[in-house]
Amino acid sequence: MTIKKKGKNLFLGLILLVLPTLLVTFPLLDYVSEHYSLLFINASFVAGLFGSAMIIAFVLHSTRLRFFIVFGALLVLLYWVYQSIVFFPFSEFDSYYIANRFRINAVLFAIGWFSGFGIARWRYFLVFFSLIVLAASAIALSSVGVYDANQLAWLIAPPVFYMFYALFAKELLNVIRHQTRINYGKVLIRIGMFCAILFLLFWATTQLLQTKFSELNEALQAQNDGEGEGGGDSDDDDSMLNQNGENRFQLKDYTELRPRLRQSEELLFTAYMDNFLENEVPNPQYITLYHLNQYNEVLERFEVDPEGPADDLFLPDPTQIPQYYVQVNLDVLENDRMEKFINPIQSTIYINKLDPSVFVAPSTAYSCQPISVEAAFRDQYKFAYNVESEVSGLNSAYFVYNTREPSIQQFQEERFRILREIKDYTDVPEDYFSYYTKTPTGGTFDQINDLSAQLTKDAKTPIDKVLAIRDYFLSRDENGEARFVYTLTPGSPTDPNIPDASLLHNFLFNTQKGYCTYFAASSLFMLRSQGIPTRMVVGFMTINRSHNNPGWYWFYADQAHAWTQVYFPEYGWLDFDMTISNEDAAETSQPDRTPPLPPVEPQFVAKGVIQRLDTTTKELVLDADLLVIKKTSMSLEEPYTFEMDASNAKVIAEFDTLSFKDLKIGDTAVVTSFDLRIQRMRKKGSSESDLELINRLPDNIQVQEILIDPVEEEDPLAEEEESIQEAVNTGVYYTLMILGLFVLALLSAPFIHYSLLKSRFKGKKEAKGRAIAVYPLVQFIMNQMGYGRGPMTPTVYAENTVDPLLGTNFTELMKVYLKIKYSKEELSSQDEDVINNFYPSFEENLKAVFPTGTRFWNFLKVNRWFNYLINLNIS
Amino acid sequence: MKRTLVNSLLFLVQFVPLKRNGFIFLVFTLLVSLFLRNEYYGEESQFTPFLLTFAWLIGVFAGLVIGFGLLYTLFCWAYLAIKSRKVSIDLSIGLEDGQKGVAGLVPVKLSLSRVIMPIIGYLKAWVVFEDGSMVGPVVIHKFSGGWKDLLFKEGEASLHLTKRAQYNVKGYIFSFEDYLQFFRFSYFKKFKKAFYLYSQKRDVPPTDIPPSKAREELEKVKTSKRVEGDFLNYKDFESGDDVRRIVWKIFAKNKELVVRIPEIINPYASHLHLYASFQNSLLGVDRKYESGMLDYYKDIIYNTCIQIEKSGRKVEFSIDQTVDDSLIVDKKDQLAYFLSCAKWKKDQLVDQFPSNGSVSVVCVSSLVPSEELEELINKRSAILFIIRVSNYLDQQNLFNWTNMILRNENQSELGKLRWVLSRQRRRIKQNERKIAELVETDLFQGQLI
């Protein structure tokens, strides 16, 4: 193979194989750089590195250069540089970043090199490579956030096309390599035809699969909701279990028995609980979210029962309560049936990753007052509210077995002693009692009944029965091993053919391995079968991590929990957590943090509609119907008009700080004021009416904060979809534009070439120069007209082709041309005449033979231009 | 036997519809799918709906792409199979007179009519010989005279035919392949043709053959006195001839380039009979080396004869086996033709060499045992040219440092290593050492090449 032919084949390989490979792998490299974004790895740099490695390797290994010698040397060099960086005396963090960045870049460079080699030398490399790229693209696209099958189809189209295109192009280049004469124009046409077929068939595929796509869209949408997660329940209460937007934490996971439980470690919220034992020992309470009173046997799942007895759960949406306004529900205090050992506590909840519309509080909570978050903590906490709760003095978050604190142990003993006074449940209303002692029958539940009867046969009182069952979970077998083991992966029953091979059965009678929901469910059915009212609760377990900030508790996602509450008449529902291995949770490595500063209590809060705005003086007029004045809440039947000075006010819309100009008349706003004049005001006693108090308020109240309602959120998915659609459209637009420009450039190329040759000819003044310049010009024109020189000598070409066709004297000109080129003789006047007169007559005759339209059409034939370039043999 | 079996298998493989490309693609696709299914697909996996979507899309699309190529290719094959009698094939092998050529890359042009080409697919032709071997492919890719189907389709290729031997074409296999080269539908068409290939020109050591009496009574050297002077003989100019001997007057007159051959002292000593023996008594020489050594041996003989002829001697050439007379060749082509017919023989002994004085030079290879050669030397019946066939493989330097960095495109490195380590080489080398000792003796007349 001649060097020229090798060069052309190399060029074709670069354009037809290497370039498409780089284009298809660019999104994957972008994904990699995003994954390592902490190391500041730039996508363009990575792509450039990978691409240059591939190109260099492709060029080098298309020659006879051996691979292993070169690649081995390259690896040794990269390793040596990496070691040098590691041992260089950078600072610790610099060393880490530089070394790891180099390592990642070096690995990518090596992979690029190997790929370039594979493409150059291995016939079947692209089969494997294209499949890997396709698989990786499929995985990457799954996390892009697109949930429409049609869009996904066109997003995966490039790697799919590439897979088939690479096979086709590689084989085509392989075949033409052995041909004696190669028509490169035809090669390009074949490539073009193949791409057209691919595109057409892909479009046909998307059309054929429209029905299937609709089905798949539902699954995708369900996945999307589930990553919120959509459980498919229409019940509002159940849907609250699903709330948590973009986070991975899902409380719903804890309501059912599963073979595997996912956990994450996000900080969800922070709470301050004003609840201490004697001698200032904090007494944390579990955070209750929901009571689950219904059990779905088939799905082995606990659910909220909307038709249960009067509930003692207060579930406001804090985001819907005006700031500093207090929402109260006193019915829950009656429903909780707590009459003794009542302990009112105040808590403040600061929301981090948890959905702020989910209300968390120690039970039994009955009031909620949203408050603002200090500016310095707004990055961390996006929402906060105060909670008032009534908790039982006998309740505690400390588990029944894991505390070593003497005071707490003493507290536990005291608790049990008091509860032993309750002998039975005869005084409990029948419907209430039967509701909370109901259990399914048959199969596993009969076995559970037998087991619990066996365990509690010596227990006299309900609390003793509870403790007997607790002790069962804590017990050890004959070998001294713990009978029950805590695990997040309890697995599925190994033989589903065994009757009652449910997860619950598997846990209690087979593996004895499970997480909190298993322990809670087992203890619930065991207690209920012994006639003890029990219910399942999901929420968060509270861990007192350190003594640095007594009363403050941090709640991470792995603290989500399920446990049982047992009802004791007059004492209400008490927490009894049977889950073992709480020692691990207590020793969790999650750190204690800096608690947020409580905000300064505002003197005046008003919610109303903005009636007037003056952007110059920054004054506003608000018609307020909800007020809080010096902690006293008021709800007015008729709105009261306040004039306010907002010159020092911050305008906040949910989490964004805006400017005064962003306010609009008609906006609903909550204004807070720390006005000293209001601070100095004193109430005149209970006889003063709300209106009188309002009238005493100073004029032009100085407000410090204006909170406006967040803008109605568009469906984030739709927004994301729209932005993706826009990106796709933009991408398509730019691609088409580039393609269009490319086609235009290609079609213009012969015209441009012609212009260049012509201008060169016209630029020559002397005869010799003109003769030398006119020859390629004529040859080019004739080539475009379809009369290329081919293998003929110039003179034969002139004699046999040009002159007979056009009636010119090109032969004479060629003789003069050859004379100029090879002889040292001066040109005669006759020669100069030939030169000077040739082109005008040539042009005239050309126009006569080839009309303008034909000439123009011939110039558009880019294949002829390619032919001319490839076969250029003008020396 | 083994070679026949291999050839048969290779022949049959051409008719297997699934090509290696398709098979590898299928295997890799299965592996990747299994991997994705095990790692990412599951009831609880977030990837499941996406993977399902992609699986449907890619599955249907791949089915359409592959199916379309497959069906169209099948249609093209069926058309040829049905219309095969009306398909005319013209095979033009770029040989001299269509009959002979230099071994190596032989240009071949194939054209056939009444064929529908697979859409952006391939139509390849393989030439099948009588001995079952095949060579190719010749890709039919040219449309003569236009873009329409059903006009003559042509293909050109340079086929690698390295043996200096006779080739008898049995027929062609036409393989229709789809654009992805996953599938192949083949059709065999019978076609008879014979040709032979001879050695390329190469440098050989100069031979020094003393003049000896030749067939004085049978033939006189013809003289042709075209010009006065003491120059008697002319011949056509060939490359390598001394340009000072060009007779310009003849050129000026007839536009023919001729050279004059200088007068020699003994006009009757211009003729010698060279007898080439293809005896190979070193049993067990590996077949693959045997073939290469045979070609090498033929090359040396051929080029030596050419060299002798250039020095002004006529060479009458004969070999120790019957020549196939299926091809009619001119006398001037006899050398090449005889060599192409020659094969290694194991059954001839040196006693059977012609010894009546009619042979001037005897060529033997170093595969003849040294004991037999000693006998021949002692007879002193003719000049002996002994050709060291191990040079065929020993020319390359295994430990050349450039081989560490650059691949050698022509020869297999593994083959070279295998030869160096083989027992055969040791045996041949041992024999050649003994031969070299014999050559040193005074009794030896000839050359060790």
C-beta pairs of A456-459 under 8 Å, 24+ apart in sequence:
A456/A530
What distance in Å separates the CA atoms of residue A764 and residue A357, rounded to the nearest whole number? 83
pLDDT score of A756: 92
**Residue A116 pLDDT > 90:** yes
State how beta strands B134-143 and B153-161 pair: antiparallel
Residues 246-275 of A with CB under 8 A from B: 260
B-chain residues near A171 (CB < 8 A): 21, 180-181
Q: Residue B65 has what pLDDT? A: 94
Does the beta carbon of A179 lie under 8 angstroms from any beta carbon of chain B? yes
More confident residue, A334 or B210: A334
Residues 6+ apart with CB under 8 A from B363: B274, B275, B276, B277, B300, B301, B304, B385, B386, B387
Burial of A539 (0-12, 13-18, 19+ CB in 10 A): buried
The β-bridge relationship of strands B122-129 and B134-143 is antiparallel
Tens of pLDDT, residues A604-616: 899 999 999 998 8
Average pLDDT over residues A51-76: 90
Give the phi and the psi of residue A365 in degrees, each rounded to 5: -80, 145
Q: Contact A135/B35, CB-based, under 8 Å?
A: yes
Residue range A410-419: mean pLDDT, rounded: 82
Question: Which has the higher per-residue pLDDT, A39 or A417?
Answer: A417
Q: Scanning the structure block, which residue is given the tokens 């076969």?
A: A871
pLDDT at A231 over 50: no
Average pLDDT for chain B: 78
Q: Which of A565-569, A646-650, A796-800, B147-151 is modeled with the greatest confidence?
A: A565-569
List the single residue in B with minimal CA-CA distance to A172.
Answer: B179
Pairwise CB contact (< 8 Å): A219 & B139: no
- For residue A54, the surrounding DSSP H or E stretch is helix A43-61
CA distance A282 to B145: 98
Chain B interface, best mutation among A167, A195, A202, A258, by max B CB count within 10 A: A167
Distance from CA of A701 to the nearest CA of B (A): 54
Q: Identify the band that residue B222 occupies on the pLDDT scale cut at 50, 70 and 90.
A: very low
Q: Decide if pLDDT at A752 tops 90.
A: yes
| Nearest residue of chain B to residue A179 (CA atoms) | B157
Q: Of A213, A250, A220, A485, nearest to A358 (Cα)?
A: A250
Nearest residue on chain A to B409, judged by CA atoms? A64
- Mean pLDDT over all residues of chain A? 82
- In this structure, are strands B446-448 and B383-387 parallel, antiparallel, or unpaired? parallel
| For A229, nearest residue in chain B (alpha carbons) | B46
Q: Are the beta carbons of A167 and B25 separated by less than 8 Å?
A: yes
DSSP state of B347: S
Residue range A509-522: average pLDDT? 86
Does the pLDDT at position A156 exceed 60? Answer: yes
Domain ranges of chain B: 1-198, 228-263, 271-448
Question: Which of A53-57, A245-249, A854-858 is predicted least confidently?
Answer: A245-249
B51 to A142: CB separation less than 8 angstroms, yes or no: yes
Q: Which of B23, B52, B61, B175 to mutate: most A Cβ within 10 Å?
A: B61
CB contact at 8 A, A184 and A8:
yes
Distance from CA of A169 to the nearest CA of B (A): 9
Q: Is A207 on the interface with B (CB under 8 A)?
A: no
**Rounded mean pLDDT of A184-205?**
89
Min Cα distance A261 → chain B (Å) is 10
Is B405 within 8 Å of A180 when comparing Cβ atoms? no
- Neighbouring C-beta atoms of residue B127, cutoff 10 Å: 25
Residues whose CB falls within 8 Å of the CB of residue A413, separated by 6 or more in sequence, listed in order = none
Look at chain A and count its residues.
875
d(CA A114, CA A710): 53
- CB contact at 8 A, A784 and A769: no
Decide: residue A600, CB within 10 A, 0-12 exposed, 13-18 middle, 19+ buried: exposed
Which segment of A402-411, A545-554, A675-684, B90-99 scores lowest on mean pLDDT?
A402-411
Subunit contact B56:A209, Cβ cutoff 8 A: yes
Determine which of B53, B178, B413 to mutate to test the interface with A (most A C-beta atoms within 10 Å): B53
Predicted local distance difference test score (pLDDT) of residue A590: 56
Place of tokens 């009416």: A689
Mean pLDDT for the stretch of residues B184-190: 88
pLDDT for A491 equals 64
pLDDT average, residue stretch B219-239: 55
Rounded Cα distance between A667 and A709, Å, is: 8
Nearest chain A Cα distance for residue B183, angstroms: 13
The residue whose two tokens read 């032979």 is B196
3-class DSSP state for residue A557?
Answer: helix
In chain B, whose CA is at the least distance from the CA of A219?
A: B49
B-chain residues within 8 Å CB-CB of A153? 53, 57
Is the CB of residue A828 less than 8 Å from the CB of residue A819?
no
How many of the other CB atoms lie within 10 Å of CB of B92? 13
- Chain B environment of A178 (Cβ under 8 Å): 139, 157-158
* pLDDT attached to residue A865: 87
For residue B219, pLDDT over 60 is answered with no
Q: Does B120 contact A213 at a Cβ distance shorter than 8 Å? A: no
CB contact under 8 A, A260 and B21: no
Contacts of B49 in chain A (CB under 8 A): 216, 219-220, 222-223
Dump pLDDT digits (tens) for B335-348.
888 888 888 887 76
Burial class (CB in 10 A: 0-12, 13-18, 19+), A724: middle
Q: Are A134 and B405 an interchain contact pair (Cβ–Cβ within 8 Å)?
A: no
| Nearest one of B127, B139, B128 to B176, comparing CA atoms | B139
Q: What is the DSSP secondary structure assignment for residue A227, as one 8-state letter?
A: T
